[in-house]
Structure 1
Amino acid sequence: MELETPLLAGRLFGSQGHWPEAALWLSNAQLGPTPDSSAEKLAWLAQNLAALEGEEQRRGLQEQSYVHWIRQAEPRLEDPLRPLNQEWWLRNPGQAQWVGLHAACGPLPVPQDQRDPHVWPTQGWLVLLAADARLRRGALQSLERWLSALPPEGLPDLIYADEDRLDAEGRRQDPWFKPDWVEESFWSTPWLEGFSCWNLAWLRHGELSLPPEDPTGRFRWMLQALELEPRVGHMPEILVHRQGEPTPHETSARSPLLRAHLQRRGEAVEAVESHPELPDAYQLRWSLPAGHHCSVIIPTRDRADLLADCLHTVERARAAVADRLVVEVLVVDNGSQEEDTAALLQQWQQRLGPALRVLRREEPFNWSCLNNAAAAEARGDLLLFLNNDVECRPDDARQNDGWLGWMAAQALRERVGCSGALLLYEDGTLQHGGVVVGMHGVADHAYRYLPLDHGVHRGRSRCHTAWGAVTGGCLMVRRDLFDRLGGFDEGLPVEGNDVDFCLRLGQLGYRHVIDPRVLLSHYESQSRNAHASPTADDAYRRMRGRWLARLGRAEPWWPPSCSRDHPDGRPNGLDFLV
């Protein structure tokens, strides 16, 4: 009983959420004559949760959780007293010289003509720091350790790392766990400004001048350097602390530079503006060329109430792009029985005329078959696959009828496969912000259940970004790409068909993007019982069998510092959080 009573008491307190008391009793249980492994595990859990008692986790990583992660799980940096092996040069704000950080490394020689590379060293690194950035002790030693583990053929020309901020009292906060190199994410939140390292041999070969000191000039220099397509490396550890808060005027001054950079890259960007909500981010707008035709494909079975809202949504969006885009609607009626549904379809056929067609399919529900059949009948060079429980809510000021045109502008970009949407649950939390391939063994939606205005990964779901896949609940793709793949895999009737489709496009070099202005509500599987799906286990096995290697490796889209078991973006080592 010496063990049993503390163990039972600890479990009781834990079940009621009293974690400090649970931790105390469970620690006592481990002191009993017969050590109990379950008590040990529960004690560890309770001690962790006790440290965070009272902190709300539904908005993503919070202050106490971050402090706990720093103390318990953050990778430790190398000894700052260890001598550096490579040559590093740093120019501090206000200094004219690039100071050598290696013991045997003097100031960097600067030629009269900075484009003359012959007096530059043939090896070493330039370290660029923002005026408000501070290198952590041991950062460069840790960077050398990371570089030493890379194969010689994989050495980068440019390196960046994760970062956080210091408050007025010097406490760490607001971590920015960055993805690997994802162009759209970088364009929205250019993360090289705080800290970057540039290989001098590569700069010499590219005949680049030394970067200027002023922030706007340095930003222009970085964009010019990126146009030479350096090999980019991301060290997924926090090496830099930023101080103070970002200011919107900085992004406003640099917006024209970023727009010109994107246009030189062949992107049909019509505007780059300071983000209305995120002070260190940009909002990007692509132009929509005229002359295209979009077929909106909506599978449905009864639930006339949902379908009516969906059709109203498409009608308003169709009107918003009438001068740029021809839009037809194909409703795939999969065995509806209710009179309300028949009446609704007749009403909408009269309302939209030949712009709306109804296709009757009586077979058992197979999302892939229904959409493939409709695509074969569609006339558009763009295909939008839309669930019948998706709507743009007129009562939500954040949602805008321009969403269809914005999706089309993305789908028409040369290197884009699928264009997706931000989808909200009925309570306003995120249902879909992109798909993290490999999460939970196959895939899950990024930032699921977080509020739309969350700050995780610097509010990434409110920024233009790319993913390994997007949900088929609202997915647009060019007709030629759809036909090239042969459509959706009909052996995946319910689950996994959208991810499989996106992965096959990914094999061809395409990426999948979300314009955050495309914001819709999705009532997820309201017209059928998704929780009773008999196909889920088979879909899981098929996806694992087909994509095992892909599902098991790290993807560039999700920050490598963050758990692939939790969509809320928490860093590795905080799996115990509920």
Structure 2
Amino acid sequence: MHFIKKLKPYNIQKGLRYLKHYGFKEFCVRLSERMEPEDVPYGPWYEQYRAKPEDLMKQKQHSFKHQSLISIVVPAYHTPDVFLRQMLDSLKDQSYQNWEVIIGNASPDDSHMRSILDEYAKNDARIKSVDIPDNLGISENTNAALNHASGDYIGFMDHDDLLAPDALFEIAIRLEANPDIDVFYTDEDKVSTDLSEHFQPHFKPDFNLDLLRSNNYICHFFVVKRTILKQVKGLDPKYNGAQDYDFIFRCTELSKNIVHIPRILYHWRVHNASTADNPASKLYAYEAGKKAIEDNLARSGEKGSVSMRSDYGFYNVDYALTDQPLVSILIPNKDHIDILKQCIRSLKKKTTYTNYEIIVIENNSTEPATFEYYDKLKKDGIQVLYYPESGFNYSAINNWGVKNCKGEYLLFLNNDIEVITPDFIEKMLSNCERPGIGAVGAKLYYPDNTIQHAGIIIGIGGIAGHAFLNLPRARSGYLHKASLQMNVSAVTAACMMVSRKIFDLAGGFEETLSVAFNDVDLCLRIQKAGYHNVYNPHVEMYHHESKSRGTEDSEAKARRFQTEIEFMRTNWIQLLKSGDSCYNPNLTLASWNYGLRADGKGVKPWTK
């Protein structure tokens, strides 16, 4: 029934375009993802969380100590009458009153547009239009309107889209608490041409540079402080088609205080000519987006190559190595030499980086065959260190290994990992060498080619959980996030690289956490020290999950696990309450799939 409802003539036409672009196999994967029913349908969820008339009334009654003027700039060209009216009405319906809109009208000879603009301007002095006799292109048209904006903050809209009625209030109320905010952006969704259906919500993380370099996830609704705008000098026509992408990069590069408002406050209208519904309609825009990323890298002093993904508007950044330092690969092991052999064999056979050492940390093995294998490893130049304590404590074992290795960079690797990506060290190391980067993690698969790890989300399952767990390898997940390089709060130490300097600065692994959450705790301490952790999906490995340790199948293990949960709750309670900044508070903590919250604890409209 869900599939049948979506079989509309235009969706069929759109599907044929995608089939031509992706080919049959990839098209089938994307079709199955798109047609999969939502755990929590967005339509009813949106109705539950949108601002109601009583919410808007309370907002209108709020007494501000200072009301910043917010200018909305809209480039317009032969806008259909109904779209133009609905866009302007969405502004007139705002619960915050101190705004103005500047329409850059690049079709002044359009009598229908002229009549509507004059009508609205006559009835509301906040609505202004600027004639642009020659259509100069979207960047220059926007700049022409910008020249007439007088607001303390300037927001950007497309001429066929709509603002939620509380959009400007949600900005103003935050400015009242903190007037030093440089940039705002909000969550958004898509809306059908006739406004009858809201769909495809985009719930965003807080500012996430690596995700921004993978995709213009900020997009709408973007609002910038006038002082920042003066420095960047408007939109650059060199990037037409991706002018907003470049503009967002340049604004955020200069901003110290970037605020994400986790509410759906912008509605991107879908119709036949819109990029929202037909990405292929603006192929030139994706080349411009690539250039925007390349120029951001150059201004940031980072070197990397940018390539376009087959998914329109999404990119891969492959950072350049700045050096060839020694990397120590640390592999704790207890017996199970069949698993260890597979791990070592894949490292020796596939690794393309040359300056590395493999260190097996022996932990209380008992089988003679294990020690016979160790002797063979030593003859092959692989070090075997004998951990001197009894029992299994992952944190203590690895901390001891770090003290006894030589590498400037540390690669923690489980003995049940099998390498897929030959240049995995280069890809992880090039990220680790970047300024401000802490731990770097990989994309891990179970042997059945489903995802075991694609970054860790704080709060899932109560403490932390892996994103996209059990998602088929061919799928890319919510807005392709399983396949995009981005900042995350934590990654699994089953395959994690970090510099020795940052590892020592963070204090190494917490030895109270002998088995669970030690990697999460370390990553959070790295993050707290001001570094960003990175999930790199272009590093792929098989993970034959924890075969050497077994399951939590005894009373002692269950008791130990509960103690580790309590440690995390005690030490990270504020983060668990406030939520993962690399996730979104409107998304579920009950599963891995970026579904909507069903517990009623999403972000509601502001009320007194």
TM-score bracket, shorter-length normalisation: 0.7 to 0.9
Among candidates 536, 541, 545, match of residue 524 of structure 1: 545
Instruction: Give 2:376's aligned amino acid.
Output: Q
| Distance (whole Å) between structure 1 residues aligned to residue 105 and residue 589 of structure 2 | 39
Tell me by how many angstroms 1:368 deviates. Answer: 0.8
Change (3 A) 1:460 1:109: same
Q: TM-score, normalised by structure 1?
A: 0.77
Instruction: Give 1:145's aligned amino acid.
Output: F
Where 2:285 maps in the other structure, the secondary structure is helix
Tell me by how many angstroms 1:334 deviates. Answer: 0.8
Among candidates 136, 144, 152, match of residue 176 of structure 2: 152
| Distance (whole Å) between structure 2 residues aligned to residue 573 and residue 60 of structure 1 | 21
Tell me by how many angstroms 1:402 deviates. Answer: 1.1
Aligned to 1:482: 503
What do residues 498-542 of structure 1 show as CA deviations (whole Å, max 9, x unaligned)? 111111111110111022111111122101113233420110111
CA contact (8 A) 1:334 1:360 kept: yes
- The answer to whether structure 1 residue 225 and structure 2 residue 251 are counterparts is yes
Where 1:531 maps in the other structure, the secondary structure is coil
Among candidates 417, 442, 465, match of residue 390 of structure 1: 417
Aligned to 2:486: 465
Instruction: Give 2:562's aligned amino acid.
Output: D
Aligned to 1:52: none
Aligned to 1:6: none
| Distance (whole Å) between structure 2 residues aligned to residue 455 and residue 164 of structure 1 | 20
What do residues 335-381 of structure 1 show as CA deviations (whole Å, max 9, x unaligned)? 22223322322222222x2x433434451011011101110110000
Where 1:481 maps in the other structure, the secondary structure is helix
Aligned to 2:341: 308
Among candidates 162, 166, 186, match of residue 187 of structure 2: 162
Aligned to 1:35: none
Among candidates 275, 285, 308, match of residue 274 of structure 1: 308
CA contact (8 A) 2:289 2:313 kept: no
| Distance (whole Å) between structure 2 residues aligned to residue 158 and residue 329 of structure 1 | 46
Tell me by how many angstroms 1:76 deviates. Answer: 1.9
Change (3 A) 1:426 1:204: closer
Tell me by how many angstroms 1:301 deviates. Answer: 0.8
Among candidates 531, 538, 548, match of residue 510 of structure 1: 531
Instruction: Give 1:339's aligned amino acid.
Output: P
Where 2:206 maps in the other structure, the secondary structure is coil
CA contact (8 A) 1:91 1:128 kept: no
Among candidates 171, 182, 203, match of residue 177 of structure 1: 203
Tell me by how many angstroms 1:327 deviates. Answer: 0.4
Tell me by how many angstroms 1:307 deviates. Answer: 0.4
Aligned to 1:536: 561
Aligned to 2:50: 76
CA contact (8 A) 1:447 1:567 kept: yes
- The answer to whether structure 1 residue 87 and structure 2 residue 60 are counterparts is no
Where 1:188 maps in the other structure, the secondary structure is coil
Aligned to 2:68: none
Aligned to 2:521: 500
| Distance (whole Å) between structure 2 residues aligned to residue 314 and residue 574 of structure 1 | 45
Tell me by how many angstroms 1:178 deviates. Answer: 1.6
Change (3 A) 1:313 1:562: same
Tell me by how many angstroms 1:387 deviates. Answer: 0.5
Higher mean C-alpha displacement, 527-536 vs 516-525: 527-536
CA contact (8 A) 2:205 2:582 kept: yes
| Distance (whole Å) between structure 2 residues aligned to residue 456 and residue 154 of structure 1 | 36
CA contact (8 A) 2:39 2:595 kept: no
Gaps of 5+ in 1: 1-55, 393-398
| Distance (whole Å) between structure 2 residues aligned to residue 389 and residue 91 of structure 1 | 60
CA contact (8 A) 2:242 2:286 kept: no
Where 2:392 maps in the other structure, the secondary structure is coil
Among candidates 399, 406, 409, match of residue 430 of structure 2: 409
CA contact (8 A) 1:307 1:388 kept: yes
Aligned to 2:296: 261
| Distance (whole Å) between structure 2 residues aligned to residue 433 and residue 220 of structure 1 | 28
Where 1:466 maps in the other structure, the secondary structure is strand
CA contact (8 A) 1:78 1:141 kept: no
| Distance (whole Å) between structure 2 residues aligned to residue 328 and residue 207 of structure 1 | 47
Paired positions, count:
498
Tell me by how many angstroms 1:384 deviates. Answer: 0.7
| Distance (whole Å) between structure 2 residues aligned to residue 225 and residue 272 of structure 1 | 21
What do residues 462-511 of structure 1 show as CA deviations (whole Å, max 9, x unaligned)? 00111111111111110111222332111111112111111111111011
Among candidates 391, 401, 424, match of residue 364 of structure 1: 391
Tell me by how many angstroms 1:258 deviates. Answer: 1.0
What do residues 193-220 of structure 1 show as CA deviations (whole Å, max 9, x unaligned)? 4x23334633555362356593244443
What do residues 308-341 of structure 1 show as CA deviations (whole Å, max 9, x unaligned)? 11112222344x012xxx1001101112222332
| Distance (whole Å) between structure 2 residues aligned to residue 95 and residue 160 of structure 1 | 29
Where 2:346 maps in the other structure, the secondary structure is helix
Where 1:107 maps in the other structure, the secondary structure is strand
Higher mean C-alpha displacement, 435-444 vs 299-308: 435-444
| Distance (whole Å) between structure 2 residues aligned to residue 93 and residue 285 of structure 1 | 41
Tell me by how many angstroms 1:121 deviates. Answer: 0.8
- The answer to whether structure 1 residue 349 and structure 2 residue 378 are counterparts is yes
- Aligned identity (percent) is 23
CA contact (8 A) 2:156 2:222 kept: yes
Among candidates 401, 417, 437, match of residue 458 of structure 2: 437
- The answer to whether structure 1 residue 321 and structure 2 residue 347 are counterparts is no
- The answer to whether structure 1 residue 236 and structure 2 residue 262 are counterparts is yes
Tell me by how many angstroms 1:543 deviates. Answer: 1.3
Aligned to 1:427: 448
CA contact (8 A) 1:332 1:374 kept: yes
- The answer to whether structure 1 residue 334 and structure 2 residue 358 are counterparts is no
| Distance (whole Å) between structure 2 residues aligned to residue 221 and residue 502 of structure 1 | 32
Where 1:328 maps in the other structure, the secondary structure is strand
CA contact (8 A) 1:162 1:240 kept: no
Where 1:536 maps in the other structure, the secondary structure is helix
Among candidates 137, 154, 171, match of residue 125 of structure 1: 154
| Distance (whole Å) between structure 1 residues aligned to residue 228 and residue 406 of structure 2 | 50
Higher mean C-alpha displacement, 477-486 vs 233-242: 233-242
| Distance (whole Å) between structure 1 residues aligned to residue 295 and residue 198 of structure 2 | 35
Instruction: Give 2:435's aligned amino acid.
Output: E
Where 2:318 maps in the other structure, the secondary structure is strand
| Distance (whole Å) between structure 2 residues aligned to residue 208 and residue 386 of structure 1 | 48
CA contact (8 A) 2:106 2:131 kept: no
| Distance (whole Å) between structure 1 residues aligned to residue 244 and residue 172 of structure 2 | 29
Change (3 A) 1:403 1:285: same
Q: TM-score, normalised by structure 2?
A: 0.74
CA contact (8 A) 1:121 1:200 kept: no
Change (3 A) 1:478 1:95: farther
Where 2:279 maps in the other structure, the secondary structure is coil
Where 1:520 maps in the other structure, the secondary structure is strand
What do residues 277-314 of structure 1 show as CA deviations (whole Å, max 9, x unaligned)? x2220001001123300000000111111101111222
| Distance (whole Å) between structure 1 residues aligned to residue 229 and residue 202 of structure 2 | 31
Change (3 A) 1:280 1:541: same
- The answer to whether structure 1 residue 449 and structure 2 residue 478 are counterparts is no
Aligned to 1:286: 319
| Distance (whole Å) between structure 1 residues aligned to residue 485 and residue 107 of structure 2 | 36
Change (3 A) 1:76 1:485: closer
What do residues 246-278 of structure 1 show as CA deviations (whole Å, max 9, x unaligned)? 235532333123112112112232x011014x2
| Distance (whole Å) between structure 1 residues aligned to residue 407 and residue 543 of structure 2 | 24
Higher mean C-alpha displacement, 326-335 vs 222-231: 222-231
- The answer to whether structure 1 residue 545 and structure 2 residue 570 are counterparts is yes
| Distance (whole Å) between structure 2 residues aligned to residue 564 and residue 95 of structure 1 | 48
Aligned to 1:7: none
CA contact (8 A) 1:90 1:126 kept: no
Among candidates 390, 396, 401, match of residue 374 of structure 1: 401
